[in-house]
């Protein structure tokens, strides 16, 4: 029920606040508030309740002064106010009704007209104006008693009854006080309620988050279970496959066992047959055994006899062993003698070599080859080999008498005939094997610890390379002196091993072109500079710097080194025409031996040298590179002759260092070395002059007696 009240109006026209007829507590919250809002409200409510209760006491008015409190309250209790209610607020000055002592100054006009109702809420609450004192309109409980004057009750005070009216006002104020206390209590209740609801809300949110957690745990569990299920399915499938496979295997095994059983059954029946056969045999054997027993008796008798004989044999064996021991002692003695003989043989061999002279010259005339044989039956008109020993070569120039033969020692017969004597002259028909036969003893000297040097000298195309290396046909009959020497060395070494000799070999291969050394076993890509030096520190050994030195243990290794050298020379040949003819090549094998029985040690070097072509080009016709080459070849070859002559003359100074060739071969040309020179000559008549020159040079060398070679014992 709506209560219509007239507003109390003060003397100056302002209206006094009026209690509400009833107050409805909020039954529900329109919206839930955030925790921040709630805590802000709590704080403000706490402040407000304190201050408002104070103010209420002081000013006898209900004051919810702070804006935030109002907001909180209004949002919490929306039905208590309406937006329109604020529009009815009118600014006025309301002097607070004070105690009775201030009564005389207060002028209160009687309520002459109905107070305007600014707004009516659905619940019948009335919004009232608020004074300038800051009192907000509020609602009152319907239980609050309105003052008499305000309610228009039966007791109406006359205008002059100021005292009565004052009492009414005081009554009104008291009722307002009561009302405000009620409101404060209600507010406290609401606050408690809000706190409760908030705690409930917190609990509910906790419960919700717990439920969410549980839900997520449950879904994880479901995922896990699904995975487990999947794994179990996979495992089940693989087990299924495995068992199926096993089943198949078992079936197969079963069938094969069946087959085996059938086979065994066959075997059993065969064995049964065999057993019955054996039974028959046993019975036969039993009867035979009786015969054998008789035989055994007679054998025993024989055995006794044999044992007796065996004892006699043992005595005989013992005697034989004694004889073997004696023979072994004799063999050992013979071996010792053999070693002594080997040493003696070496001595004798080298004595013979020394007697032969330490520098020897072999002359070899190659056969006519290819086109040279055309219109020729193979006989050489200008050459003759008169002696049976094979030491003389006669040269006859037919029709040319312009040859000047004043200086050489070869006897001149008639006008055009020249006779040359050498240690050996090999005719065109001579084979490589025959020639090697003659030099093999020199090779043996290298194994005995001598420095050996074998040269091939002659004009281009006279057969130097053929003699030293042999053609590359692979025909074993034509292989040259170098591979044959290597073969002999390794054969001999194998034989000497029984006598306690152990050898080590180091090989190198170089060429001297235009007085420059090139390593034929090294890399072609690198341009390495090589110099000749003496090892120094009491060691007179000649060494070449940066040279590839390969330790070798088999002849196959040496053959492969010779191949490498030939390839390297071929490559160089393509760069420089006829290079191989115009360079000296030196294959060197250093041999070191030691005898474990006798303690002997030796070291020798075998030098096998293919010299550059010795032909003399007319210097006027040579120019540039060719002229330089010719000069260098002439220089080194003539220096070789000079060195040999100086050695023969026992000169105090031997000019080894005038050319790379003689410097390199210094130790193989001196007193403790053995030198062999092949002078290779062409069978062609047109080469007569060059042949004559070569033979003259060789004769000069042949006449040198360099002295006694000495063995190098380490
Ligand atoms: N005794 C020989 N029997 C058969 N053929 C030979 C004989 N000697 C040399 N020849 C052949 O003669 C040719 C020239 O020989 P070779 O190349 O050995 O001469 P060279 O003196 O080494 O020449 P260069 O100074 O140019 O190296 C080659 O074809 C070679 O096969």
* Spatial CB neighbours of 513, under 8 Å, sequence gap ≥ 6: 572, 576, 579, 582, 583, 584
CA of 472 to the centre of ligand 1 (A): 11
Q: What is the pTM of this model?
A: 0.54
Which of 37-51, 471-485, 515-529 is most confident?
Answer: 471-485
Do 574 and 545 contact (CB within 8 A), yes or no? no
Q: Please state whether 188 falls in left (phi above 0), alpha (psi between -120 and 50) or beta.
A: alpha
Highest-pLDDT range among 205-219, 568-582, 656-670:
205-219
pLDDT value at residue 710? 52
* pLDDT tens digits along 417-473: 899 999 999 999 999 999 999 899 889 889 888 899 999 999 988 999 999 999 888
Q: Are 428 and 366 in contact (CB under 8 A)?
A: yes
Give the percent of the chain with pLDDT over 70: 69
671 assigned to a ligand binding site:
no
Gap between the Cα atoms of 47 and 365, Å rounded = 141
Query: pLDDT, tens digit, for every residue of 358-371?
Result: 788 999 999 988 87
Please report, to the nearest 10 degrees, the dihedral formed by the alpha carbons of residues 457, 461, 464, 465 taken in order: 140
Q: CA 309 to CA 138: how far, in whole Å?
A: 155
**Centroid of ligand 1 to alpha carbon of 282 (angstroms):** 87
What is the model's pLDDT at position 113? 39
Most confident of 82-86, 134-138, 669-673: 669-673
Which residue has the least CA distance to atom 1 on ligand 1?
Answer: 366
Does 465 count as an annotated binding residue? yes
Q: Which of 132, 185, 135 is nearest to 18 (CA)?
A: 135
Confidence class of residue 343 from pLDDT cuts 50, 70 and 90?
confident
| Contact indicator for 85, 50 with CB cutoff of 8 Å | no
Helix (H) / strand (E) element for 323: namely: helix 162-356
Establish whether residue 458 lines the binding site of ligand 1, counting it when its CB lies within 6 angstroms of any ligand atom.
Answer: yes
Segment 33-41 mean pLDDT = 48
Lowest-confidence region among 43-52, 213-222, 591-600:
43-52
Q: Which of 458, 453, 459 is nearest to 439 (CA)?
A: 453
Task: Tell whether ligand 1 has an atom less than 6 A from the beta carbon of residue 471.
Answer: yes
Q: Answer with the residue of higher pLDDT: 122 or 195.
A: 195
Asked whether 577 lines ligand 1 (CB < 6 A), one says no
In this prediction, residue 648 has a pLDDT band, given cuts at 50, 70 and 90, of confident
Domain ranges of the chain: 8-195, 358-702
User: Are 33 and 41 a contacting pair, CB within 8 Å?
Assistant: yes
Residue 27: which pLDDT band, with cuts at 50, 70 and 90? Answer: very low
Of 480, 485, 446, the C-alpha closest to 593 is 446
Antiparallel, parallel or unpaired: β 583-595 and 501-513: antiparallel
pLDDT of residue 191: 94
Q: What is the mean pLDDT of the chain?
A: 76
Pocket test for ligand 1, best of 366, 425, 578 (most atoms within 8 A of CB): 366
User: What confidence score (pLDDT) does residue 493 get?
Assistant: 92
Comparing 250-264, 597-611, 629-643, 694-708, which segment has the lowest mean pLDDT? Answer: 694-708
Half-sphere exposure of 98 (CA within 13 A, CB side): 8
Between 437 and 80, the higher pLDDT residue: 437
Q: Which residue CA neighbors atom 2 of ligand 1 most closely?
A: 366
pLDDT band at 397 (very low <50, low <70, confident <90, very high): confident
Q: Which residue has the tokens 């040359």?
A: 420
Is ligand 1 within 6 A of the CB of residue 10? Answer: no
CATH class of 358-702: alpha beta
pLDDT for residue 77 is more than 90: no
Cα(387)–Cα(395) distance, integer angstroms: 14
Element at 364 (helix H, strand E) = strand 359-365
* 321 in a labelled binding site: no
3-state secondary structure of 421: strand
CA 614 to ligand 1 center in whole angstroms: 14
Determine the distance separating the centroid of ligand 1 and the alpha carbon of 358, expressed in angstroms: 27
Span 302-321, pLDDT tens digits: 999 999 999 999 999 999 99
- pLDDT at position 99, please? 39
CA–CA dist 274, 267 (Å, integer): 10
569 in contact with ligand 1, CB cutoff 6 A: no
Report the residue count for the chain.
714
Instruction: Give the residue from 150, 155, 145, 182 showing the smallest Cα distance to 169.
Output: 150
Structure confidence by residue, pLDDT tens digits, 533-545? 888 777 778 899 9
**145 vs 640, more confident:** 640
- 295-299, 342-346, 453-457: which range is least confident on average? 342-346
Pull the structure tokens for residue 22. 């009833």
494 in helix, strand or coil?
A: helix
Q: Ligand 1 pocket check: which of 428, 465, 474 to mutate, most ligand atoms within 8 Å of Cβ?
A: 465
Q: How confident is the model at residue 413 (pLDDT cuts 50, 70, 90)?
A: very low
14: annotated binding-site residue?
A: no
Q: Count H helices, E strands: the chain? A: 13, 17
Tell me: pLDDT of 253 over 90.
yes
Whether residue 179 has its Cβ less than 6 Å from ligand 1 = no
* pLDDT band at residue 139 under the 50/70/90 scheme: very low
* DSSP one-letter string for 141-187: -TTSPPPHHHHT-S----TT-HHHHHHHHHHHHHHHHHHHHHHHHHH
Q: Is the CB of 582 under 6 A from ligand 1?
A: no
Lowest mean pLDDT among 110-114, 155-159, 508-512, 525-529: 110-114
- Both structure tokens of 242: 């495995």
User: Looking at residue 427, what is its pLDDT?
Assistant: 94
What is the tens place of the pLDDT at every residue in 579-606?
A: 667 889 999 999 999 998 888 898 999 9
Say whether 462 counts as a known binding-site residue: yes
Distance from C-alpha of 672 to C-alpha of 603, rounded to nearest angstrom: 12
Question: Could you please report the per-residue DSSP string of 553-566?
Answer: -SHHHHHHHHHHHH
Q: Is the CB of 613 under 6 A from ligand 1?
A: yes
For the segment 212-237, the average pLDDT, to the nearest whole number, is 94
Interval 465-516: pLDDT, tens: 999 999 888 788 999 999 999 999 999 999 888 888 899 999 999 999 888 9
Full 3-state SS string of 42-90: HHHHHHHHHHHHHHHHHHCCCCCCCHHHHHHHHHHCHHHCCHHHHHCCC
Q: What Cα–Cα distance (Å) separates residue 474 from each residue in 469, 471, 479, 571?
A: 11, 7, 7, 21
Please give the pLDDT value at position 309. 92
Contact 602, 712 (CB under 8 A): yes
78 alpha carbon – ligand 1 mean position (Å): 133
Query: Does residue 124 register a pLDDT over 70?
Result: no
Q: Calculate mean pLDDT across residues 231-243.
A: 94
Closest ligand 1 atom, residue 613 Cα = 25
Q: How far is the CA of 588 from the centre of ligand 1 (A)?
A: 22
CA distances from 397 to 364, 402, 412, 694 (A): 19, 10, 12, 15
pLDDT band at 105 (very low <50, low <70, confident <90, very high): very low
Name the closest-CA residue to atom 8, ligand 1. Answer: 463
Note the pLDDT of residue 119: 40
Distances from the Cα of 41 to the Cα of 34, 118, 289, 497, angstroms = 11, 29, 131, 118
Q: Determine if residue 464 is labeled as part of a ligand binding site.
A: yes
Residue 458, annotated ligand binder? yes
Mean pLDDT of 403-409: 44
Question: In a mutational test of the pocket of ligand 1, which residue from 369, 480, 633 has the highest number of ligand atoms less than 8 Å from its CB?
Answer: 369
Is ligand 1 within 6 A of the CB of residue 366?
Answer: yes
Ligand 1 centre distance from Cα of residue 466 (Å) = 5
CA 399–ligand 1 middle distance (angstroms): 28
- pLDDT for 654 beyond 80: yes
Q: Is 67 annotated as a binding residue?
A: no
Please check whether residue 582 is in contact with residue 570, taking contact to mean a CB–CB distance below 8 angstroms: no
- Under the banding of pLDDT at 50, 70 and 90, the label for residue 635 is confident
Pocket test for ligand 1, best of 428, 461, 617 (most atoms within 8 A of CB): 461
Distance 366 CA to ligand 1 centre (A): 7
Say which range, 16-25, 181-190, 444-453, 456-465, has the weakest mean pLDDT: 16-25
Written in H, E and C, the secondary structure of 281-300 is HHHHHHHHHHHHHHHHHHHH
Rounded to the nearest angstrom, the distance between the alpha carbon of 547 and the centre of ligand 1 is 28
Helical (H) or strand (E) element with 504: strand 501-513
- CA 616 from chain centre, in angstroms, equals 60
Looking at residue 576, what is its pLDDT? 57
Q: How far is the CA of 661 from the centre of ligand 1 (A)?
A: 22
């Amino acid at each position: 029920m709506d209560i219509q009240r007239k507003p109390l109006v003060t003397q100056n026209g302002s209206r006094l606040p009026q209690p509400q007829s009833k107050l409805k507590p909020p039954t529900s919250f329109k919206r839930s508030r955030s925790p921040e809002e709630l805590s802000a409200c709590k704080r403000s409510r706490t402040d407000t309740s304190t201050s408002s209760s104070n103010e209420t006491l002081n000013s006898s008015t209900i004051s919810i002064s702070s804006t935030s409190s109002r907001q909180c309250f209004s949002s919490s209790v929306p039905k208590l106010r309406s937006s329109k209610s604020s529009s009815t607020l009118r600014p006025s000055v309301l002097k607070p009704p004070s105690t009775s002592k201030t009564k005389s100054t207060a002028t209160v006009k009687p309520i002459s007209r109905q107070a305007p109702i600014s707004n009516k809420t659905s619940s019948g609450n009335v919004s009232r104006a608020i004074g300038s004192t800051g009192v907000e309109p509020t609602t009152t409980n319907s239980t609050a008693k309105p003052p008499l004057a305000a309610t228009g009750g039966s007791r109406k005070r006359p205008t002059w009854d100021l005292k009565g009216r004052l009492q009414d006002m005081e009554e009104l104020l008291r009722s307002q006080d009561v009302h405000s206390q009620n409101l404060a209590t209600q507010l406290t209740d609401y606050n408690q309620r809000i706190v409760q609801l908030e705690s409930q809300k917190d609990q509910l949110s906790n419960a919700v988050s717990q439920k969410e957690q549980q839900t997520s745990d449950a879904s994880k569990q479901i995922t896990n279970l699904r995975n487990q299920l999947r794994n179990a399915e996979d495992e089940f499938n693989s087990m299924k496959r495995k068992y199926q496979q096993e089943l198949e295997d078992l079936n197969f095994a079963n069938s094969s066992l069946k087959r085996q059983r059938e086979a065994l059954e066959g075997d059993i029946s065969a064995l049964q047959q065999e057993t019955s056969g054996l039974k028959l045999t046993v019975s036969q054997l039993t009867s035979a055994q009786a015969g054998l027993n008789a035989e055994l008796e007679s054998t025993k008798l024989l055995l006794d006899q044999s044992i007796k004989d065996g004892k006699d044999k043992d005595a005989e064996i013992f005697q034989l062993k004694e004889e073997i021991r004696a023979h072994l002692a004799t063999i050992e003695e013979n071996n010792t003698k053999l070693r002594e003989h080997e040493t003696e043989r070496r001595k004798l061999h080298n004595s013979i070599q020394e007697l032969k002279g330490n520098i020897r010259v072999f002359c070899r005339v190659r056969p006519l080859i290819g086109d040279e044989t055309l219109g020729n039956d193979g006989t050489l008109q200008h050459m003759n080999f008169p002696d049976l020993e094979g030491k003389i070569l006669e040269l006859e120039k037919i029709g040319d008498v312009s040859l000047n033969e004043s200086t050489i020692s070869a006897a001149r017969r008639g006008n055009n005939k020249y006779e040359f004597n050498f240690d050996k002259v090999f005719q065109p028909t001579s084979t490589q094997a025959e020639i090697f036969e003659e030099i093999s003893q020199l090779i043996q000297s290298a194994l005995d610890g001598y420095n050996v040097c074998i040269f091939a000298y002659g004009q281009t195309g006279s057969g130097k390379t053929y003699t030293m290396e042999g053609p590359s046909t692979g025909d074993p009959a034509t292989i040259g002196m170098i591979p044959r020497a290597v073969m002999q060395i390794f054969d001999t070494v194998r034989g000497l091993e029984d006598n306690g000799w152990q050898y080590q070999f180091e090989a190198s291969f170089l060429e001297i072109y235009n007085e420059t050394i090139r390593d034929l076993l090294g890399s072609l890509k690198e341009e390495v500079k090589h110099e000749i030096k003496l090892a120094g520190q009491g060691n007179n050994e000649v060494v070449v710097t940066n040279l590839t030195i390969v330790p070798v243990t088999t002849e196959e290794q040496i053959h492969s080194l010779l191949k490498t050298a030939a390839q390297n020379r071929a490559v160089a040949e393509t760069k420089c025409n006829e290079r191989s003819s115009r360079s000296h090549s030196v294959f060197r094998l250093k041999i070191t031996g030691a005898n474990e029985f006798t303690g002997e040690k030796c070291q020798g070097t075998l030098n096998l040298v293919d010299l550059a072509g010795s032909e003399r080009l007319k210097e006027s016709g040579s120019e540039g590179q060719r002229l330089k080459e010719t000069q260098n070849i002439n220089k080194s070859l003539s220096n070789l002759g000079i060195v040999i002559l100086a050695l023969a003359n026992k000169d105090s100074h031997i000019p080894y260092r005038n050319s790379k060739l003689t410097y390199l071969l210094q130790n193989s040309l001196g007193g403790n070395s053995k030198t062999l020179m092949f002078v290779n000559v062409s069978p062609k008549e047109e080469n007569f002059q060059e042949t004559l020159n070569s033979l003259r040079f060789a004769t000069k060398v042949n006449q040198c007696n360099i002295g006694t070679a000495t063995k190098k014992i380490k």
